[in-house]
Amino acid sequence: MTIHQAEFIISNTDVNKCPKELLPEYAFIGRSNVGKSSLINMLTDQKNLAKTSGKPGKTQLINHFLINKNWFLVDLPGYGYAKVSKNKRDTFQQFITDYFMKRQQLVCTFVLVDVRHEPQKIDLDFFTFLGTNQIPFAIVFTKADKLGGTNLKKNIAAYEKKVLEQWETMPIYFITSATNKMGKEEILTFIDQVNHSLSDA
């Protein structure tokens, strides 16, 4: 799939104010500073669609982008450490939960994980939250260009081992780099296939 059009539609903190169109939605979420905005900009071939920042916690709203006029990319606030007040963290924790529990248009969540680090409890807990609530998700390993091939394989194997302590199978995953566009075609092809399966249903 080629993205010809990516249009910002709305930002808000209330799931009830999200777009009413019954178009499939793909949500992107991860720990603060995982490279989410850079990945979104890479996927859409736009430098500033999602706002990138050196400061963790930049995204604090539910952001909807209409892609090719037939599906939504949803940029969600990061979880975990961010330089925002505890009250704000509590607030967007609640509206993130509301989004996942109430948003019927959501067909897949891409959970971003920095492949340079060992498995983090907060990521594993988030997988469990999604799985418990039967919310389909895929793992997106980011910043793969920062590691050599051997270390990359080793880190992904470590993650897989940890995930399989709780899950019967490893969720589908993608290895990406916003710097060299690694994983772009794989993610967009996956989204295209899901969209086709939904339209055929």
**What tens digit of pLDDT does each residue of 141-196 get?**
999 999 988 999 999 999 999 999 999 999 999 999 999 999 999 999 999 999 99
Q: Work out the average pLDDT over 84-103.
A: 73
Residue ranges of domains in the chain, CATH in brackets: 6-200 (3.40.50.300)
- Phi and psi at 2, nearest 5°, equal -110, 135
Instruction: Give the whole-angstrom CA distance, residue 162 versus residue 3.
Output: 35
In the predicted model, is pLDDT for residue 56 greater than 90? Answer: no
- Write down the pLDDT at residue 93: 73
Furthest CA-CA distance within the chain: 46
**pLDDT grade, residue 87 (50/70/90)?**
low
Residue 76 near residue 27 (C-beta atoms within 8 A): yes
**pLDDT grade, residue 38 (50/70/90)?**
very high
Report the predicted TM-score, pTM, of the whole model to 2 decimal places.
0.90
In the predicted model, is pLDDT for residue 82 greater than 90? Answer: no
Nearest Cα neighbor of 140 from 5, 10, 38 is: 38
